[in-house]
Structure 1
């Protein structure tokens, strides 16, 4: 798109086109680094709240995820002055960071649910929190930005916690592996060990 705006139509100069492409890549890398730095500050503020997820005080409280959403909303009030493509990029990067940090907290060894009922409560809470975070990103994201897929994965992880039938558990795990082929055996074992 940038090349189409700034490069004369019908002009073919391979060495110049190569230099122009390298310059565009440099600008793209600068944009990516600037977005990373913007989000680094926000996520430093959020670190303590991600640390509170999946601890003994997490199950009865909505404070960590509420605070994560409110804090991100505050930061995104500043970010909405970015150009639309850059704003979309920051939103995508932020949702990926939230998704990764949430799953990392879930699969850390902070808590194990002792009963099937406790695992059911946790699964319900996980789905509720995934929906809350998804709703936040839907609210701030411009039309056309996909904010669903990362939180669908979190809901799939919750289904594994919720499942009582071994055959259904096998199907849930298979579906999750199709959606997340890069999940490790260690992460799967940790997810299963959460069930108690």
Structure 2
């Protein structure tokens, strides 16, 4: 994102270049009383000296504070969630963002690894706030149970992302074996074992169970 600065004074019409932190700024516009320029990208965070030049003489014009965009590690409102359930994600951005920026909450896989295009489970559109914000995220209904899901927050303009959150468990049931069994009449297959993953309270997953099978339809 381009950030423009304005230097005010007198007799500025002859200024031909501006440097910020030793790097030449672009987008120079001058009048007798104002000089406008675009802050170069890639500057280190901190104070950067601003200098004006008329091609012969260099004039110091004070310092510009460079604040890089960043997003804090998201804090989760729950450590366990059901498939299809909701939970809060709190984060705080720093730096400067465009008015059209969006903050998106992305979900990893059950191992905590983010895909190239991970699922987005919450979005704040047209948002450039740098105060603490809390958004409600919804776990996709088809998410398998697992112990190490994580989320991160990603901004669109400028593009920057947070570190991954603490682990988030998705309550569910793991069934083994998962491979198909081809059985002959009166032949017994391998025993199917259902194991509850991370119950929310005691032996109850707290999640909505699947409808019971109708025995008359067997």
For the superposition of Structure 1 and Structure 2, which TM-score range results when normalised by the shorter chain?
under 0.3
Higher relative contact order (Cα pairs below 8 Å, separated by 6+ residues): 1
Instruction: Provide TM-score, normalisation by structure 2.
Output: 0.25
Instruction: Provide TM-score, normalisation by structure 1.
Output: 0.27
Which protein is richer in helix relative to its size? 1
Which protein is richer in strand relative to its size? 2
